[in-house]
Amino acid sequence: MTELLSVDKVSVRYGELEAVRGVSLSLAAGETLGLVGESGCGKSSLGRAILCLEPVAAGRIAFNGYDVTTLKGAALKQFRRQAQMVFQDPFGSLNPRMSVGSAIEEVLFVHHIGTNRAARRERVAALFEDVGLKTDWLNRYPHEFSGGQRQRIGIARALSLEPKLLVADEPVSALDVSVQADIIQLLKRLQRERGLSYLFIGHDLAVVRDMSDRIAVMYKGEIVETGTSDQICDEPRHPYTQKLLSAVPDIDKALA
């Protein structure tokens, strides 16, 4: 597998606080790397840094072999097309006063995709269908959708620029369990069909295991252990990973 993303000794600082401390990881094309760890350990900060939404205080992030930490202007915009975020709560990132169809159309417009409005509309409609939404709903507003539907909209928007990488930051954590399963299945299918790479951030180890090829365990800003999902869940080495696993009450039952 070709390496898509390579993070090398990256740190993220908020003033005095070093939220991410010298983290290194890599992600191959078509692969899913799960990222777990307790609240506040730096998962989202790392995810945002990878998407250049947060400046890095140190280290290098290479995407397709090119350092992206210093990108600006047109080059940064070009990178945005290739790496996108799926948020835990897409509602917070959807404009409440814009129909969901228009919101995605605008993303395409900004990136000069589609020759005219009709072409963009058609593209958004196709995306909508691909994520399991009815095209009749394109003119509706965010508040008219359920949590699961909104997450599908968030996914459609993230995919609208045909990225190679999605950073999914707790994409199912706010959803009911039955809806979680649907969104996980959707993400898996889209990955298969489009050859996407995922950085999948989560706190539910059963979900992260199910989703990921490999898992990285983060603790206080550092990655303390990385391995295949089975290794991390069945033979955890680091005491913190063991603690994290023992905090899951019925992991075998949850995975059955």
Shortest separation between residue 87's beta carbon and ligand ATP, angstroms:
11
Q: Decide whether 20 or 156 has the Cβ nearer to Mg ion.
A: 20
Closest CA to 153 of 87, 209, 249: 87
Count, residues near ligand ATP per rule CB under 6 A: 12
State the binding partner of 177 from Mg ion, ligand ATP, none, CB within 5 to 8 A by kind. none
| 105/169 with CB nearer ligand ATP | 169
How many angstroms separate the Cα of 48 from the Cα of each of 35, 98, 137, 167, 183? 13, 25, 30, 8, 22
Interactions with ligand ATP, residue window 32-61 (CB under 6 A)? 37, 39-45
Q: Which two structure tokens, joined as six digits, stand for 133?
A: 């939404």
Strand, coil or helix: 222: strand
Closest CA to 24 of 229, 167, 223: 223
Closest distance between ligand ATP and the C-beta of residue 240, in Å?
13
Residues found near Mg ion in the complex (CB under 5 A):
44
What single DSSP character describes residue 37?
Answer: -
Helix axes 177-194, 147-159, angle to 10 degrees: 20
CB of residue 1 to ligand ATP, shortest distance in Å: 27
What is the distance between the alpha carbons of residues 10 and 106, in angstroms, rounded to a whole number?
33
Q: What residue 39 binds from Mg ion, ligand ATP, none (CB within 5 to 8 A, per partner kind)? A: ligand ATP
Site for ligand ATP in 5-24 (CB under 6 A): 14, 17, 19
Residues 188-247 that bind ligand ATP (CB under 6 A): 203
